[in-house]
Amino acid sequence: MVMTIPLANITHDNSDKCDFLNKTSHWLSIFQKISNTRYEGQKTHLMMLDRIIGDTAYAIIEEDGKPVCCGLGVVHEELLGLYDIVTAPDWRGRGLATKICSNLMAWGKSIGVKKGYLQVVGANSTAINLYEKLGFRRSYTYWYRVQSIEAG
């Protein structure tokens, strides 16, 4: 499902900041650690991130010196895409993903972005509830069609 939000409507509490990283490879290692997604395609993933055209923001939150939540914002024209929003399992339910999303949207708004969007799995009701509380609204759904190997 794709959800959108007009950034003109958002407000941000400046006291509720997260950190932004300059080094893509550092952010990717944090993302993979938090999401437990170390895989052979790490080099490809890094190359994809390094080739993003447009402004990017790599956000993290640390607790006791340990990264516990992260997310990525990518600007294309007047749109801000939010990607890879993830919180470590032991830290969920504490508002950290809300904080990451709010900071990324405030950053986008500060550089002139008009609208935010994200993609979320339709069955992920926890994430959908979070995004709706932030002001995102459902725009449309889509699905992937995969040809059966047997039909091949």
Tens-digit pLDDT profile for residues 60-71? 999 999 999 999
Q: Do the domain assignments include residue 149?
A: no
Rounded-to-integer distance, Cα 91 and Cα 107, Å: 24
The CATH number for 34's domain is 3.40.630.30
Question: What's the whole-model pTM score?
Answer: 0.88
Arithmetic mean of pLDDT, 48-64 = 93
The answer to whether residue 147 is domain-embedded is: no
Tokens standing for residue 42:
């790490």
**Is 145 a member of any domain?**
no
Give the separation between CA 81 and CA 86, rounded to whole angstroms: 15
Cα–Cα distance, 30 to 42 (Å, whole number): 12
State the total domains in the chain.
1
**Portion of the chain with pLDDT greater than 90, in percent:** 65
Q: Is it the case that residue 36 has pLDDT exceeding 90? A: no
Please write the tens of the pLDDT for every residue from 90-111: 999 999 999 999 999 999 999 9
DSSP helix, strand, coil percent of the chain (3-state; round to 5): 35, 30, 35
150 part of a folded domain: no
Domain of residue 110: give its range: 2-140
